[in-house]
Structure 1
C-alpha cells in the first residue's frame, strides 16, 4: 500500500511539474519580443471605445459615422483609419482584384475621397485630388501616356495630353 501511494505521489508530482513547466514556457513565448502574431484582422480602439484603426485581410466595407456605405468595389486588404465618429478617413491597401495598391484620404464625413493614389501593375499610376464641391485634378499614366485632367465645379473637364493643345 505504501509503495502504491509513493508511486501515485511521484506520478502526480511529475505531472504537476511538467504542466507547470509547459505553462511557464508558453507564457515566456507569448511575452517574447520576437513573437509573431498571425491573425486575419486587428481593431484598435481609442479611450472612448471607438474603433480608430482596422488592419485586416480583408477590411470591412467603408463606413460613415459608423454606418456602412455599401460594398467596396473589390475586396481590400490593408489598414483603414477611422475618425472619432467612426467615419473612414483613409486607407492603405491592396485590392484582391487587379493587383492594385492604393492610398486614400477621405473628408471628415468619410463620403468623399479627397486624395487618392492608385498603382496598377498593368496600367501605371494615378493621383487624384478632389474637393467636396466636385472640383479636382487627376494626373495619370493609365493609358500609357501622361495625362492631366481638371474638373471644375460645373462638371466641365479640361485635359492636358502630350501632342494636344493645353486647356484654356
Structure 2
C-alpha cells in the first residue's frame, strides 16, 4: 500500500474514533435521563390547561382567579384554592374549591353564570346541597345545624316546603 493511502486510513480511523466518542458523550446523558423515573411531585402556584385554540379550560391553583362570566371578570366571594373548569368560550362553569375558612365547595355553573348545583362541606360539621334555578326556585338540603333540613322555595321566594317546619331559611 502506498504511503498516502496508509496516511488517509489512519486519519479516517482517528476520525471514526473521535466521532464514536462524541456520539457516546451525547447519547449517555439522554439514556440516563430516559431511565430516570418521572417526578413524584410537581410544585407550582398555578397549572393552567388550555385547548387547541389557547382557551383556558381548567385552572388548578393555590389562589384561583376571579370568575369569568360572559367574558367579564367578577369578584369571587373570597380567596380560594382548588380547581376551576371553563367552557369553550372561557367562562367559568364550576369547580372544587376550599376557602380560607376551610369550607369545601363543589359547583356546576350555568352557561350564562349562576350556580345550578352546589355542595358545601362545612368546616365544623355537616354539608349542604343546593339546586338553584336561574329564575329563583331552589331545593336545599342540609345537615350543617346538626339535624337534617329540607327546603323547597318557589321562584318568587315563597317556601313550598320547610322541614322541620320551624327551621329557619337555609343560607
TM-score normalised by length of structure 1: 0.74
Q: How many angstroms apart in 1 are the aligned matches of 2:138 and 2:72?
A: 27
Residues 1:112 and 2:117 aligned together: no
**Paired residues of 1:147 and 1:159 also in contact (CA < 8 A):** no
**1:107-166 per-position Cα deviation (integer Å, ceiling 9, x unaligned):** 012x2100000001224110000111111100011222211111111121244323659x
Q: How many angstroms apart in 2 are the aligned matches of 1:58 and 1:157?
A: 37
Instruction: List aligned pairs for 1:115-134, cutoff 5 A.
Output: 115-134=117-136
Q: How many angstroms apart in 2 are the aligned matches of 1:68 and 1:123?
A: 32
Residue in structure 2 matched with residue 161 of structure 1 by the alignment: 163
Residue in structure 2 matched with residue 9 of structure 1 by the alignment: none
SS in 2 for 1:126: strand
Unaligned runs of 5+ in 1: 1-16
TM-score normalised by length of structure 2: 0.73
Residue in structure 1 matched with residue 45 of structure 2 by the alignment: 40
Q: How many angstroms apart in 2 are the aligned matches of 1:59 and 1:77?
A: 5
Residue in structure 2 matched with residue 68 of structure 1 by the alignment: 73
Residue in structure 2 matched with residue 51 of structure 1 by the alignment: 56
**1:70-103 per-position Cα deviation (integer Å, ceiling 9, x unaligned):** 2x2221111000011111001112112x211110
Number of positions where the alignment pairs a residue of Structure 1 with one of Structure 2:
142
**Paired residues of 1:145 and 1:162 also in contact (CA < 8 A):** no
Residue in structure 1 matched with residue 15 of structure 2 by the alignment: none
2:91 equivalent among 70, 87, 90: 87
CA RMSD of aligned residues (A): 2.7
SS in 2 for 1:24: helix
Unaligned runs of 5+ in 2: 1-21
